[in-house]
Structure 1
C-alpha cells in the first residue's frame, strides 16, 4: 500500500539525535534524502589548492550523460560553496573524478578527516597522487577510472542555497584494462562502481537501516519491445 510522506512530518529523533540536528550533522541533508535513499555513484574529486597541496573530496549526488558525440557531461549535484573543492575548481577550472572499487574505499573515507588546507589530502589518506594527462590536476593512481574534467557552469540548488550544481565537461578518461573488460574485474559487481546508499529510513518509525554503500550486479538483458 502506498502512503504519502510529508516533507514536514518526520520523527522527533533519528539515531538518538534530534532530527534537525542529525540531518545537519550528516551534511545538510533533507528528510527526503533518507526516505527515498536513492543510490548515487561514489567518487573522489581531486584538484590543486591555492597553496599547491592536493585536494580530495569524497563525493556523490551526481550524474553523467553524453550530449552529442564529442560531449560527455558530468553534473556534480551538490557542492558546498565554502569547501576546498569548490574553491579549487573555481581557481583552476579543472578537476579529476576518481572512481574507487571497494578495496580502497576505507582510504577514500579518510579524505574526509584529512581535509586541512595544509594537508596533501590524497597522500595523507594512504593513496597515491599522480599527474593527470590533459588537465592540471592530480589524480588517484589506485582508482580504476579517472575522468579529467573542465568547469562549464554552476547554479544554486535554490535561491540563497549554500550548495550549487556544477557542470563539467570530460576531456580525457583513463581506465584500468582489467575493469573495462567485463569478463575480468569489470565495471560492475563487487569490484566495480560503488554507490552511496543514504541510510534508508522508515518514515513512520524513524528506524534507520545502515547500509552506507552498495555495488551493482548486472542483470540479464531485457528485449526492447516498445509496443
Structure 2
C-alpha cells in the first residue's frame, strides 16, 4: 500500500511543515525528507570583505562528456550578498565542514553585515583560493574552488534562482582523502521528517552525518 499526497494533509497544519512556508519551504519537503549536503559558500563582497553563506539546496554532477564537474545551487536569494557577489566576482568556494565546525559556520548567519569579514568574525580563518578570486575557510576539510556559469529562475518572477558553478579544483585534508563520510565527514541538512499519518511533534530541521554501509558493487 502506498499513501498519496497532492495537497497538504490536514494533519500537518500547525506543524513546522506548514509554518516553514514563511521561509520558502514547501510542505512536500517534510514528507519526502530527502537530505542534501551542507556547506559554506564563500565569496568576496563588492567592498572586498569576505562573505559566507550556509547552503544546502544543491546538486553535483559531471557533464560535458566527463570533462567537467558542476554544482547547481538550487536556491539563491536575489536579495542576498551571495547572489550579488557571484554576479560581480563570478567565483566562489564551497567549504565542507566537519560536525565540530558546524556551530562556528552557523555563526556567519549572524555576522552578515556588509562591512563585516563574515569568516573571521565567526571565529574561522580566511585563506586565499589558488585559482579564483574568492576566500576559503582554512578549518574546513574540503574546499572546492568554483567559477560562475549561469543562473535561471525556477519559476518566472521568483525571488530565488538556480545558479550553476563549475568546479575548477579542490583542496582536501590528508586525514579525509580516503574517507569523507561518517561522523566527522560531509554533513547533510535534513528537513524534519513528518509522517502525516501519525504526527507526533511539530519538529524542526536538523543536521546529520552519513552512516556508511560496507557494500560495494562491481561494474
- The TM-score, its normalising length taken from structure 2, stands at 0.92
Aligned length: 216
Residue of structure 2 aligned with 1:36, choices 10, 32, 49: 32
Tell me: CA distance 1:120–1:207, structure 2 relative to 1, closer, same or farther (3 Å).
Answer: same
Verify the 8 A CA contact 1:44 1:97 in the aligned structure 2: yes
Q: Report the RMSD for the aligned CA atoms in angstroms.
A: 1.9
CA deviation profile, 1:37-96 (whole Å, cap 9, x unmatched): 110000000000001111000000111112234301111111111111000000100000
Q: Does 1:103 align with 2:100?
A: yes
Aligned residue in 1 for 2:196: 203
Structure 1 residues 47-86: aligned runs within 5 Å: 47-67=43-63, 68-86=65-83
Between the aligned partners of 1:222 and 1:7, the Cα distance in structure 2 is: 39
Tell me: CA distance 1:223–1:93, structure 2 relative to 1, closer, same or farther (3 Å).
Answer: closer
Between the aligned partners of 1:129 and 1:168, the Cα distance in structure 2 is: 21
Between the aligned partners of 1:214 and 1:104, the Cα distance in structure 2 is: 13
Aligned residue in 1 for 2:186: 193
Between the aligned partners of 2:205 and 2:213, the Cα distance in structure 1 is: 21
- CA deviation after TM superposition for structure 1 residue 14, in Å: 1.6
Between the aligned partners of 2:35 and 2:135, the Cα distance in structure 1 is: 27
Between the aligned partners of 2:7 and 2:200, the Cα distance in structure 1 is: 13
Between the aligned partners of 1:222 and 1:44, the Cα distance in structure 2 is: 30
Between the aligned partners of 2:217 and 2:142, the Cα distance in structure 1 is: 29
Aligned residue in 2 for 1:4: 4
Between the aligned partners of 2:21 and 2:123, the Cα distance in structure 1 is: 29
Residue of structure 1 aligned with 2:165, choices 165, 168, 175: 168
Verify the 8 A CA contact 1:13 1:206 in the aligned structure 2: no
Aligned residue in 1 for 2:20: 23
Structure 1 gap segments, 5+ residues each: none
Aligned residue in 2 for 1:138: 135
- CA deviation after TM superposition for structure 1 residue 12, in Å: 2.6
Q: Does 1:113 align with 2:107?
A: no
- CA deviation after TM superposition for structure 1 residue 202, in Å: 2.4
Residue of structure 2 aligned with 1:122, choices 119, 127, 136: 119
Verify the 8 A CA contact 2:38 2:54 in the aligned structure 1: yes
Between the aligned partners of 2:111 and 2:52, the Cα distance in structure 1 is: 9
Structure 2 gap segments, 5+ residues each: none
Aligned residue in 2 for 1:13: 14
CA deviation profile, 1:112-131 (whole Å, cap 9, x unmatched): 11111111111111111110
Between the aligned partners of 2:30 and 2:114, the Cα distance in structure 1 is: 31
- CA deviation after TM superposition for structure 1 residue 220, in Å: 2.2
